[in-house]
Amino acid sequence: MKNVLRIAVVDPVDATRNSLKKLLLGIDVVWLEAECSRYEFFADVVGQTQPDIALVSLDADPQKGLQLVGRITQDMPNCAVLVISSSTEGSLILQAMRNGAREFLNLPLKLEDFLAALDRIRQGRGQREGEGQVRSCQMITVVGAAGGVGCTSLAINLACVFAANPKNSVAVIDLDLALGDADVWLDIIPDYTIQDVAENITRLDYSLLKRSLTRHDCGAFLLPRPVQMEGNLSITPDELRRVLALLKATFTHLVLDVSKSYAALDYAAMEASNTVLLVTQLDLPCLRNVVRLMQAFDQREGLSQKVKVTVNRLGLEDTQISLNKALETIGHEIFWQVPNDYGTMVESRNNGVPLITQSPKAKLTKSIEMLAQAIDKSAAPPAEGEDKDKKPKKRLFSFLGGGSSK
């Protein structure tokens, strides 16, 4: 598997070595190639097994560990060295980096920090070797300018479009903890929910997280909201970031459907995402809220640049505000326009079947397929009849859902 990183570990301290081994064995994107308890033998182990990463713990003997880092870097340049230590001394960190370490992490090792380091190493290897298939996870959060604007329908069907590409692995996370209904759209009766994840957050690993996900026939996985509204569910933004870090290491695409409360959890999801689709309709209350929300997003560093205004149900009724007037009102580019097709969408929801399966030739389905291409062209399946190398034309009044409007 090209996405799996093979790791060899050296740590003369049995307790920390066993702890590292347990951590590594719980991560799907990692293969523990070898473990060693002596610095003196580890260079030979690396030479024989040729791992992607050599993980060196310095605590038993920092000087021997640093010498080992330098030797591996010199003799095996294709092996990235990741150093761990309980010391935060600047001179030790500096010397490790000078000796060729790619990453320096502190003990006790946090899972999210380790996964982030692995992702940076993976990306670095891909750039050096010209591996176009090495991709980081794309995280898309769908938020609404008001209730009922179609966030869940868009999130679910966008995820199913991504999942139609066999190169992708996709998960949907329902973060509307009170009234989320992503499971209804996919006709899923889940055995586990995000509540199971929250209640076991202190011992969360891949095996537990995978049990909490339910797979749909289209290939997408779902982490649904709690079954009971009266439950004492409490998940903090930091805990959510940990869950997302685990999911990002396994999936190529995460689609998050958040609540309309714009609480701390919703902002944590948006800030962790690559793209935020702000869904609106062309009516005065929604457009007013778009202005208010964009002002709020501007107060958070880096968030407003991720936001892409998406008009849903274009052509819903004759009394809609025109696109020109909407542009004048919100003062922002409209990234995408999704046509109104109430009958097709309701049939899809009632049957619990995504649009790409229920109505693959509908204009609404084609619009969402093209939206997926616009978000991640390399990962989304091309819309039927579209040239893969040709960008969608920009149209101002497109009821087919394509293009940007300014």
Task: Give the residue, 192 or 400, on which the prediction is more confident.
Answer: 192
- Evaluate if residue 399 carries a pLDDT over 70: no
What digits encode the pLDDT tens for the residues 165-179? 988 989 999 999 889
- CA neighbours within 13 Å on the CB side: how many for 355? 25
Q: At what angle do helices 342-351 and 363-375 cross, to 10 degrees?
A: 80
Domain boundaries, the chain: 5-129, 138-375
Short-list 281, 228, 284, 235, CA closest to 258: 235
Digit-coded pLDDT (tens) for 289-325:
999 999 999 999 999 999 999 999 998 765 578 888 8
Q: Do domains 5-129 and 138-375 have the same CATH topology?
A: yes
- Secondary structure E strands in 11-86: 30-36, 53-57, 80-85
CATH number for 5-129 (one of 3.40.50.2300, 1.10.260.40, 3.40.50.300, 1.10.150.20): it is: 3.40.50.2300
Model-level pTM? 0.71
The average confidence (pLDDT) of the chain is 86
pLDDT at 395 over 60: no
Q: Which residue has tokens 């991504």? A: 162
Percentage of residues in the chain with pLDDT exceeding 70? 86
Q: Which long-range contacts (CB under 8 A, 24 or more apart) does 390-397 make?
A: 396/323, 396/324, 397/323
What pLDDT shows up at residue 129? 53
> Does residue 390 carry a pLDDT above 50?
no
Q: What is the pLDDT of residue 85?
A: 96
More confident residue, 373 or 200: 373
Q: Which of 22-31, 62-71, 92-101, 258-267 has the lowest mean pLDDT?
A: 22-31
Name the class of domain 138-375: alpha beta
Distance spanning both ends of the chain, measured CA to CA: 43
Q: Regarding beta strands 103-106 and 80-85, do their DSSP bridges make them parallel or antiparallel, or are they unpaired?
A: parallel
